[in-house]
Structures are given as C-alpha cells and as structure tokens.
Amino acid sequence: MDCPSIEPKQRVLLTGGIGSGKSTVAARMRELGAEVIEADLIGHDVLEPEGAAFQAVAERWPGVIADGLVNRSELAEIVFDDETALQELEEITHPAIGREIAKRIASSNRDIVVVEVPVEPTFLDGDWTRIAVTAPLEIRVARAVSRGSKEESVRRRVSVQLEDDDWVANADYVVVNDGGRGDLLRSVDDLWGDLVEGS
C-alpha cells in the first residue's frame, strides 16, 4: 500500500560488492514498502541512444557502438582493465545517474526510499542511512558465477569495487549474508523495523 509523502523522506543507500546479496535485500525491502531505485539499471538507461550519456560515450569509445547501441560488454572490457578509462566513464555517466535518482526520489510517495548502488555513490548528495551487505569473497564469487557470469569477469569486477571492510566502515547498519536465504530475509525484516521507527 502506498504511503503518503512525508518530507524529508528517509533515504537509504544499500551498498555492497557483487554477489553480496544486495538484490535480495532490495527485493525484500520493496515487499515491505520501500521505494527501491537500482542505480545499475539507471546506468543502463543513460547509455541508451536517447540517454544522457550516450553521445559522450560514443564519441570517447566509438568502437563500442554497434547497430546504434552501446555494447556494454565491450565497454566493460575496456574500463575494467584501465583505471583511467573507468574514471572517464564515471565522469560521463555518474552525473546523469545522480540527476535521475534525485528526480525519482522527489517524485516518490514512499516514506523510505532505498537506492541500491554497487560503487561508492559520489554522485549523490545529502544525508543517507547506509546499509552494507557483506559476504565472504568466495561465496560472493560462487553466487555470481551461478547466475551465469564468468569467474574471471567476476573477479575483475571485484578488484575494482570497494572491499567489505570499506563498505562496513561507512555503514550505519551491516547485513552479513553468509548463511541461507531465510537467514538473510530475517535480518532484513529486523533492520526494516529499525528503519520504520526512524522514518
């Protein structure tokens, strides 16, 4: 059931590396009543032909354009092997992602808005409640591989993301996802109670 708009909304950053379980946590929070915004999906949108970052990416890396579209796999191969290229891509895409997230937060009628992010969100301003989802590295890699990713690709992505200790250091809440799905959902439900009290 939709909640009436209350300002300021409680804004929650859901952070963690690949395979940590962020998506499961986000899905459960959506079921519980949160507005969930996935920064990754917005990142895809801004690279679409009509997206805010398409033209700049096409001009910088023309080789990743095929049939008028950004080949995200080829773009990823370039930037994950080149720190400078990754920084360039983020300088192009992150402002557009941040603007779109801000628009969606402003238009939400939920008391709690959760933004799921795979990187440190320097493109977002303001006060946030931060949740870090963590899991042992090998469990994370196994989860990502089980979803169809190649292990080499997963480990490359891990290498450019923050380590769990860094996520935890900045977090208000930590969800440790080293057990079963039921354990994770119970942890989220407990955390949700705290968020509702603070909203």
- Give the pLDDT confidence of 104-131 residue by residue, as tens digits: 999 999 999 999 998 888 888 888 999 9
* Distance separating alpha carbons of residues 23 and 192, to the nearest angstrom: 15
- Give the pLDDT confidence of 13-53 residue by residue, as tens digits: 999 989 999 999 999 999 999 999 999 999 999 999 999 99
Percent of the chain with pLDDT over 70: 95
On the 0-12 / 13-18 / 19+ scale of CB atoms within 10 A, 125 is exposed
pTM of the model: 0.86
pLDDT attached to residue 163: 86
Q: How many other CB atoms sit within 10 Å of the CB of residue 67?
A: 5
pLDDT attached to residue 199: 62
**pLDDT reading at 92 higher than 70:** yes
- Chain centroid to CA 81: 21
